[in-house]
Structure 1
């Protein structure tokens, strides 16, 4: 017997609520609307930035295998459909002028493609930068000349910039390999890099961006992949996704606990990601109490990334349960 997906679990949870059948019907219709939503995420960057390792670490898939075949680089935009999540893996730039021109045209065409309702197909663009590189010229050209000019007036809401390979940003210096985390000198260096990127993009495009940094880790000679700050990257993506489309990620988030163990500890990104999922409840019902019930229903079936359901979620469910007497 196949395990129920998240929408079926939410429906079951709503069905068990002690509320009127009319209110249940409204909530279930709201879930039905969410079921039809798809999120289209384009992932791009310069050659060698670590797009494939990021995709493989974050999602339950290895469709973007690293280093497989004679020519592992993606030569055209690849589409990967993972239930309601659609990933567009674009080729890396930086392998020659002619290739870059061709790849840029492909990215521009995809960014300008519209769906049947006249809306852009691509919801979000994640631009990954190579933290180990001192020359980000190709990345700036991609961001300033290709991506942002083709995102329309709301470009700041549709572009995310993330610096990968934080572990080798200073050639491996100041990275604590035993604890899999950066030391203060490296954090200062990465923060300066973030500040520089923000300034250069703002000066070139007038768009304000808020880059983050992380390490997707890598597999080498049978070693396990050990990401750092991947939870923050996931939160970064989910929080910037339109609320009604956020549940599209849930079925595809990596189930490997090791992917989510190491973060910068500034915030509990796992819990914050779950809160972002629960905010979807407002799109199930505009009624405050019913919306709270929907939020509890979502919280009851959506685990904190990489862990069991947190106490905060349990408290929320208990509170709403008190309101409805269940």
Structure 2
């Protein structure tokens, strides 16, 4: 079986796009928000009435030039109408939940000064019940409409230390919204996206929202979204998060008592990790190229991985001993790979030789093995995940 087939079977391939879903009640300002975030007139903007009648996918292409050359990053923004509308809400909510597995981020837009939030709370609960870590953010939009309406000066707005009547009213409304939706403060962003595309002077909070979007998505997607939104990252910190998350996933994959299958899953995880690391350091890389690098690196330690797979055929070891031993190797091995490619990519070496990879792996092996206990604890916590709103 070739590597492309292995990656396909383990869900590592996708269409290469970042998928974002935007929903909210009629008049909440979804279309204005999308236009403001993208800097494009992607959506028609109305004056309070329903503009979008059907679910629509808007394509937004961002071109970046960097160490990896010229790159076009595509974002697909799905605008879902009908939230809270009689006869449409249940159908549209079901449609959004069906898309959850192919969506990377949800923005739930709430327009001020609305205070009927039960459906928003219910939707958030439905999403987090399916995936407690899913990145869903609440955008508290149109905060300029809080009283006194005419007193709107976004440049002097300070919602962390509200002193004016308008600031206090906005802060109180957003806090009430946060409590009603039962979410943490890091999931809610007060914003004014402006009434029209040219209304840039009235906008507020968009840069904080963009930063929050990047921080909310999984580590493997951070670099991609940061490049789309033109948000600066702490590259090394982001890379370390990607590596640790992949190592935990590899540990969990290796714990399965199914011979050989865990090797396929682990290879997929490691290839995805390398793609994300390359993106973090401004280089576009395909999964096929990353899988090739995993194979090159695996020549130095492939015997150990093969041994773990073979152990699972031995009666008595296949269900307990082999599984534990496999997890103990897969996690630190993934850490070693991750640290090694992070070092290479950070130095601008995106086409390392087998010798260069091996040298880096020897350098990082002891560091990774020293983290085995912490890795095992992290894998245990993930396998028994709880609410993380």
Deviation at 1:122, TM superposition (A): 2.1
1:55 counterpart (34, 46, 52): 34
Aligned residue number for residue 214 of structure 1: 191
SS of residue in 2 equivalent to 1:184: coil
Higher relative contact order (CA 8 A, sep 6+): 1
1:74 counterpart (32, 52, 71): 52
2:81 counterpart (91, 109, 128): 91
Q: Flag the 1:291–1:187 CA change in 2: closer, same or farther, 3 A.
A: farther
Q: Flag the 1:242–1:216 CA change in 2: closer, same or farther, 3 A.
A: same
**1:227-247 CA distances to partner (integer Å, 9 max, x unpaired)?**
211100001111111122234
2:115 counterpart (118, 136, 140): 136
Aligned residue number for residue 291 of structure 1: 342
2-side partners of 1:237 and 1:35: how far apart? 21
**1:27-81 CA distances to partner (integer Å, 9 max, x unpaired)?**
xxxxxx899643321111111111111111111432212139xx76211211123
Does structure 2 conserve the Cα–Cα contact (< 8 Å) formed by 1:42 and 1:126?
yes
2-side partners of 1:277 and 1:63: how far apart? 34
| Ranges in structure 2 where 5+ consecutive residues have no aligned partner | 1-11, 61-72, 244-272, 278-336, 349-389
Compute the TM-score of the two structures, normalised by the length of structure 1.
0.58
Alpha carbon RMSD of aligned pairs, Å?
3.5
Deviation at 1:214, TM superposition (A): 1.5
Aligned residue number for residue 168 of structure 1: 145
Compute the TM-score of the two structures, normalised by the length of structure 2.
0.50
Q: Flag the 1:173–1:155 CA change in 2: closer, same or farther, 3 A.
A: farther
1-side partners of 2:142 and 2:50: how far apart? 19
| Larger gyration radius, structure 1 or structure 2 | 2
Q: Flag the 1:156–1:278 CA change in 2: closer, same or farther, 3 A.
A: closer
Deviation at 1:105, TM superposition (A): 1.1
Aligned residue number for residue 188 of structure 1: 168
SS of residue in 2 equivalent to 1:249: helix
1-side partners of 2:40 and 2:105: how far apart? 20
Q: Flag the 1:35–1:60 CA change in 2: closer, same or farther, 3 A.
A: farther
SS of residue in 1 equivalent to 2:204: coil
1-side partners of 2:57 and 2:235: how far apart? 26
Aligned residue number for residue 63 of structure 2: none
